[in-house]
Amino acid sequence: MKINKNYLNLEASYLFSTIANKVKAYSEANPGKHIIKLGIGDVTLPLCKDVVIAMERAVLEMGVQDTFRGYGPEQGYDFLKTPIKEYYSKHNVSLDIDEIFISDGAKSDLGNILDLFDTDNTVLVQDPVYPVYVDTNIMAGRKIKYLNSNAENGFLPLPTENDKADIIYLCSPNNPTGAVYNKEQLKQWVDFALENNSIILFDAAYECFISDETLPRSIFEIEGAKKCAIEFCSFSKTAGFTGTRCGYTVVPKDLVYEDTMINKLWLRRQTTKFNGVPYIVQKGAAAIFTENGQKEIMENINYYKENAKIITDALDKLGIWYTGGTNSPYIWLKCPNGMKSWEFFDYLLNNVQIVGTPGSGFGENGEGYFRLTSFGSRENTIEAMDRLLKHSLANV
């Protein structure tokens, strides 16, 4: 038996384990110090009440003969797909219900979708990048091209002739930079994809953080996108589902390559290699879309957005350059005084006991940058920024 040797080309990622080790070492050497973690992308607020009630009910249903549910549709229940369809229509995107596929999260489907595409396709990702886009394509042996995302282009690069590729990843609001494409910029990407017969894999996992009504939450707000894009979304950040696992993928029926409907290929993939998301979890996700559910999750999202404002206010006072923070849970800052990413990591840990993520962990263009997240508690976020402000960074 021959293994898939592409796996041997994967680089081991030590980013988060290195962070954990450094934090552990510091913590052991300085047992009295309170370390504040603003590095990871996981949420901290619990599930909202309506989601809990809906899941409790669903659990009880599963224990009673008459309401027990066995195998559900692999592509998800209509009781969840219907409110998602309505959510899109509020943003002027009209979808058919069979263009929506319920998933166990954006990460799974972002990897699994690649099943449908020839390994001979070239892939375009931005640097810095969410590592999953890169690793899943290395696993399949695809050629990867990198597009510079940097301060000059505001971490929102636009396509040029050099960037032609078959599969294009876009993430907006971006992880890790927090930058958000506007409609005109996204239109350039859609036109570029249509001209070059490319497909765009649009990661919309952070769309719920967009407050600016002029910014697109979905690529399907852009004309022509249904002919060249698949959208991945998740309830992880929208409703704190990181440990509950539910999201959705939108595959328009207008998406046709080599005379083949991608929607049909995906349905075939899912019915063959997937058995759907738990009934209980889908019931919980559906509760997000009730009037009260929407109110509750907006309270949580606003809590994180206020955290982001606390962080960006502090950075403004300190004169530190950043992207994100307004329509995104991530704040991507330039390390002060020309420090490198890991240098700044050590500096913050040692001087103010704040943990963030070194930008260089997301790619070469991340060097000299640093990611903070707004997913911490209010108390910790305030305390961390107080420490930053009190500790004059001029000392660096």
Contacts (CB under 8 A) with its own copies, residues 29-48: 42-48
* 72 near its own copies, judged by CB under 8 A: yes
Report the residue number, 128 or 368, with the smaller CB distance to its own copies.
128
Q: Are the C-beta atoms of 99 and 250 separated by less than 8 Å?
A: yes
Report the residue number, 47 or 84, with the smaller CB distance to its own copies.
47
Residue from 29, 31, 64, 92 binding its own copies (CB under 8 A): 64
* 79 near its own copies, judged by CB under 8 A: no
* 205 near its own copies, judged by CB under 8 A: no
Shortest reach from residue 131's CB to its own copies, in Å:
8
Report the residue number, 10 or 20, with the smaller CB distance to its own copies.
10
The set of residues, in sequence order, having a beta carbon less than 8 Å from that of 62 and lying 6+ positions away, is 68, 69, 279, 280
* 378 near its own copies, judged by CB under 8 A: no
Report the residue number, 27 or 121, with the smaller CB distance to its own copies.
121
Identify any residues that bridge with 169 across adjacent strands, giving them in sequence order: 201
Report the residue number, 115 or 127, with the smaller CB distance to its own copies.
115
Radius of gyration of the chain, Cα coordinates, nearest whole angstrom: 21
* 107 near its own copies, judged by CB under 8 A: yes
Report the residue number, 13 or 94, with the smaller CB distance to its own copies.
13
Shortest reach from residue 9's CB to its own copies, in Å:
11
- Angstrom distances, CA of residue 188 to CA of 172, 184, 227, 380: 14, 6, 14, 40
Question: Checking DSSP bridges between strand 369-373 and strand 100-103, what pairing results, if any?
Answer: unpaired
Query: What's the one-letter identity of residue 5?
Result: K
* 136 near its own copies, judged by CB under 8 A: yes
Could you tell me the strand order of the sheet in which 369-373 lies? 322-324, 330-334, 369-373, 357-358
Residue from 20, 52, 97, 151 binding its own copies (CB under 8 A): 52
Shortest reach from residue 172's CB to its own copies, in Å:
20
Q: Are the C-beta atoms of 364 and 147 separated by less than 8 Å?
A: no
* 285 near its own copies, judged by CB under 8 A: no
d(CA 378, CA 384): 10
Per-residue binding string, its own copies, 228-267, x by CB under 8 A, is ------------x-xxxx-----------xx-x-x--x--
* 60 near its own copies, judged by CB under 8 A: yes
Residue from 31, 32, 63, 319 binding its own copies (CB under 8 A): 63
Report the residue number, 259 or 291, with the smaller CB distance to its own copies.
259
What does the H/E/C string look like for 355-380?
ECEEHHHHCHHHCCEEEEECCCCHHH
d(CA 234, CA 169): 16
* 279 near its own copies, judged by CB under 8 A: yes
Identify any residues that bridge with 322 across adjacent strands, giving them in sequence order: 333
178 by DSSP, 3-state: which?
coil
Shortest reach from residue 279's CB to its own copies, in Å:
5
Phi-psi region of 141 (alpha: psi -120 to 50; beta: other; left: phi over 0): left
d(CA 90, CA 170): 23
Size of the site for its own copies (CB under 8 A): 76
d(CA 254, CA 235): 25
Tell me which residues in 138-197 interact with its own copies (CB under 8 A).
139, 166-167, 197
